[in-house]
């Protein structure tokens, strides 16, 4: 006999902690602008990580809401499906960091250095 899950809830929590800097009054001209550009780029990079995780959570929810399996094994099957998706999302997180060089290619460097194109080639 097959069963389906009747109530599925998936929770995802994402906390992003960014550095703060209160520039002293004698800060070199333009450094505050560079800092703000760095923080904006770093936040964009971290939101990319959050978006990958959110996509995974939505996929888990969808797969579990449509899961049908033998009643005796549905719990194990649900766990297998969720674990498979989480594993794939972790791999996507690593690939994202590799592709962006942990945000460097998105401008997340301070002071505002541009990525070295030679260093980014495999």
Indicate whether 89 belongs to any domain.
yes
Examine the pLDDT at 57 and tell me if it is beyond 90: yes
Indicate whether 92 belongs to any domain.
yes
CB 43 within 8 A of CB 68: no
Q: Would you state the pLDDT for residue 29?
A: 80
User: Residue 112: pLDDT band by 50, 70, 90 thresholds?
Assistant: low
Domain count along the chain: 1
Residue with tokens 């070295």: 116
Give CA 120 to chain center in angstroms.
21
DSSP summary character for residue 20: -
C-beta atoms surrounding 53 within 10 Å:
17
Indicate whether 43 belongs to any domain.
yes
Domain residues for the domain of 82 are: 29-122
Q: What is the mean pLDDT of residues 70-93?
A: 97
Indicate whether 62 belongs to any domain.
yes
Cα separation, 38 vs 109, in Å, equals 6
Indicate whether 117 belongs to any domain.
yes
Token pair in block for residue 120: 């980014």
């Amino acid at each position: 006999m097959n069963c389906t899950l009747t109530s599925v809830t998936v929770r995802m929590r994402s906390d992003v902690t960014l550095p703060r800097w209160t520039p002293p009054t004698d800060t070199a001209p333009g450094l505050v602008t560079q800092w703000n550009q760095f923080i904006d780029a770093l936040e964009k990079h971290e939101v990319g990580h959050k978006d990958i995780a959110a996509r995974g959570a939505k996929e888990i929810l969808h797969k579990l809401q449509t899961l049908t399996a033998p009643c005796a094994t549905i719990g194990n099957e649900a766990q297998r499906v969720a674990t498979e998706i989480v594993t794939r999302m972790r791999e996507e997180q690593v690939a994202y960091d590799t592709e962006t060089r942990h945000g460097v290619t998105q401008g997340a460097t301070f002071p505002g250095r541009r990525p070295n194109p030679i260093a980014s080639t495999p």
